[in-house]
Amino acid sequence: MTLLPETTDKKLGLVIDLDTCVGCHACVISCKGWNTENYGAPLSDQDAYGAEPVGTFLNRVHSFEVTPDETPAQLIHFPKSCLHCEDAPCVTVCPTGASYKRVEDGIVLVNEDHCIGCGLCAWACPYGAREMDGEAKVMKKCTLCVDRIYNENLPEEDRVPSCVRTCPAGARHFGDLGDPSSAVSVLVEERGGMDLMPEQGTKPVNKYLPPRLKDDISTAAPQPLAPVAAEAKGFVGWLDKMLDTV
């Protein structure tokens, strides 16, 4: 059903820490691996060993360069997957009801058996979070690893999205953003978590933690060190003095 639920019981989503992401693409590949073997059709690749390889990925890592006025330019690695928006335009545009948002946890999913592959949902998503699979011709998107997070066959601690589990830097957090006391909500609160393209009115569930202030050592550093001696001779004298104290 492509009408959006008024509210959802939970708002499961990801919190991505732009201060910590080193841009290693581990989450990209583990997502591809998991989702190829699990939910729906495999994420296929065309011209895999040829001149223009192109495949379906549900999570991709961009890199942006940001140049402040005073300090040196910064590089920010920027993972991006479906933000499981509260006002998900991708859902309401879908003519078939294949796209839907779950009432119980807010996950936005595609029922691949109903999808006609019209692509309109991808047009409606501002974030580029949906990709049509070249082989299966149905729309693919991040499932928030719905087949992991409730999967009783997995040990409890592994019931998190594949990308979260694999992220070596711990830059990806998973939880209920609807619950203000959850660890993810606390993190968002503390670190000023932000929405992407708030003006699009999609109300993303996923949040991004902004990079911390950088390159402020010259201003923030303590006083320069004061010399104990001018040259080597004086220094040896100082050594003598000091040694008696240690």
Partner 1 sequence: MHPAPSVIVFTTLSGLGFGLLFWLGIGLPAVSYLGALLYFALAFALAVGGLLASTFHLGHPERAWRAFTQWRSSWLSREGVCAVAALLVLGLHAFLLVFFGKSIAVLGFVGAALALGTVFTTAMIYTQLKTVPRWNTPITPVLFLSLSLAGGALLAGQGWAALVLLLIAGVTQIFWWLRGDRAFSDSGTDLASATGLGSIGTVRSFEPPHTGTNYLLREFVHEVGRKHAQKLRVIAGVAGFAMPAVLLVLFGFGWFAMALAALLHAGGVAASRWLFFAEAEHVVGLYYGKR
Partner 2 sequence: MKDGKVAYIEGNRDHPVNQGVLCAKGSAGIMQHNAPSRLRKPLKRVGERGSGEFQEIEWDEALQIACDWLEPIRAEDPSKLAFFTGRDQSQSFTSFWAQNFGTPNYAAHGGFCSVNMAAAGIYTMGGAFWEFGQPDWERTKLFMLFGVAEDHDSNPIKMGIGKLKAAGGKIIGVNPIRTGYNAVADEWVGITPGTDGLFILALVHELLKAGKIDLDYLARYTNCPVLVNRDPASSEYGLLMRNGEGKPLVIDHKTGELAAFDAKGVRPSLSMTLEVDGITHVPVMHLLAERYLSEDYAPEAVAERCGVSADRIRAIAAELARVAFDEAFELPIAWTDFRGEEHATMQGRPVSFHSMRGISAHSNGFQTCRALHLLQILLGSVEVPGGFRFKPPYPKPVSVHPKPHCKVTPGKPLDGPHLGFVEGPEWLCLKDDGTPARIDKAFSWENPMSSHGMMHMVISNAYAGDPYKIDTLFLYMANMSWNSSMNTAGTMKMLTDKDENGDYVIPKIIYSDAYSSEMVAYADLVLPDTTYLERHDCISLLDRPICEADAAADAIRWPVVEPDRDVRGFQTVLVQLANKMGLPGFTNEDGSAKYEDYADYITNHERKPGIGPLAGFRGNGESHGRGDVNPNQIDRYIENGGFFVSHIADEAAFMKPWNATYQDWAVKMGLYDSPQPYIFDVYVETMRKFQLAAEGYGERQPPDHLRARIKEHLDPLPIWYPPFEEGLVEEDDFPLHALTQRPMAMYHSWGTQNAWLRQIHGRNPLYVPTDIWEEHRFQTGDWAKLSSAHGAITIPVAHMAALNPKTVWTWNAIGKRKGAWALDDDAPEATEGFLLNHLIHELLPAKGDGMRWANSDPITGQAAWFDLRVRIERVSAPQEAAPVFPPIKSPVGQGPADLAWKVKS
How many CA atoms lie less than 13 Å away from 212 in the CB half-sphere?
7
Does position 64 interact with partner 1 (CB under 8 A)? The reply is: yes
Q: How many CB atoms neighbour CB 227 within 10 A?
A: 10
CA distances from 207 to 74, 195, 233 (A): 21, 6, 59
144 binds, among ligand SF4, partner 2, partner 1, none (CB under 5 to 8 A by kind): ligand SF4
Q: How many CB atoms neighbour CB 5 within 10 A?
A: 15
Taking CB under 6 A as the criterion, the residue among 127, 136, 195, 211 binding ligand SF4 is: 127
**What burial letters (b/e) apply to 144-164, b meaning 16+ CB within 10 Å?**
bbbbbbeeeeeeeeebbbbbb
104 binds, among ligand SF4, partner 2, partner 1, none (CB under 5 to 8 A by kind): none
Residues 6+ apart with CB under 8 A from 180: 189
Pick from 161, 111, 117: nearest CA to 135: 117
Asked if residue 162 lies in contact with residue 145, where contact means CB atoms within 8 angstroms, the answer is yes
Q: Footprint of partner 1 on residues 108-147 (CB under 8 A)? A: 114-120, 122-128, 131-132, 134, 136-138
Does position 160 interact with ligand SF4 (CB under 6 A)? The reply is: no
Does position 240 interact with partner 1 (CB under 8 A)? The reply is: no
Given the complex with partner 1, which of 143 and 149 has the nearer CB atom?
143
Taking CB under 6 A as the criterion, the residue among 15, 58, 109, 188 binding ligand SF4 is: 58
User: Which DSSP helix (H) or strand (E) runs through 188?
Assistant: helix 183-191
Binding mask 2-41 for partner 1 (x = CB under 8 A): xx--------------x------x--x-------------
Q: How many CB atoms neighbour CB 41 within 10 A?
A: 16
* Interface contacts to ligand SF4, rule CB under 6 A: 21-27, 31, 34-35, 58-59, 61, 77, 79, 81-85, 88-90, 93-94, 96, 98-99, 108, 110, 115-121, 125, 127, 129-130, 139, 141-145, 161-163, 167, 169, 171-172, 202
* Contact residues for partner 1, defined by CB under 8 A: 1-3, 18, 25, 28, 52-57, 60-69, 73-76, 78, 80, 89, 91-98, 114-120, 122-128, 131-132, 134, 136-138, 194-201, 208, 210-211
